[in-house]
Structure 1
Amino acid sequence: MSAPAIKSHEFEHATDAAIAACGGNAREAVKKLLVENAQLHDELAMAVPAVSYGYSKGWHARRRCDGDMPK
C-alpha cells in the first residue's frame, strides 16, 4: 500500500472536521466515511476493467495480486 496523501498531523484536522460535519456525532461520522469508502471502492472496481494493462503499466494487476482491490 502506498503512503497516504495526507500527512499524519493533517489527519487530526480531517478527523475533527468529519465529526463536526456530523454535528459532533463520531459514530455517524464513521458510518458516513465507511459509506463513502465503499462507494469509492465500487467506482475503482468498475474503472479497472476499462483501463488497459499497458496504460496502467500493470498497476491494477499488481494491486489485485496484493489483495488491495476487489476481484
Structure 2
Amino acid sequence: MSQTPTPIPQGNEDALEASVDQALDACGGDVRATIKALIVANQYLESEVAELMKSVSHAYTRGRFHPYNG
C-alpha cells in the first residue's frame, strides 16, 4: 500500500468507532476474521473500481462522454 492514510475529519471519530464495532460484531468478535473480511471486501471494491475505470475509459474514447467545459 503506497498511499498515505488520510486523517479522520474532526467529529467522525465516533462514526469510525461505531463502524469498527459493527465489523467486529458481524464476525462474532473475532479480530482475525474481521480483518480477513475487510481485506476481501476491499479487494472486491478495488476490482469494481478497475472495471468501472475500464468502462468509462472505453466509453470516453468512443465519444459517449463529453467533457464538461464550464
Give the structure-2-normalised TM-score.
0.63
Answering whether residue 40 of structure 2 is matched by residue 35 of structure 1, we say: yes
Poorly superposed stretches of 4+, deviation over 6 Å: 1-4
Aligned residue in 2 for 1:45: 50
Q: Name which structure has the greater RCO, CA cutoff 8 Å, separation 6+.
A: 1
Answering whether residue 21 of structure 2 is matched by residue 20 of structure 1, we say: no
- The letter for the 2-side match of 1:28 is A
Paired residue total? 54
**Any gaps of 5 or more consecutive residues in structure 1?**
58-71
- The letter for the 2-side match of 1:12 is E
Q: How many percent identity over aligned positions?
A: 31
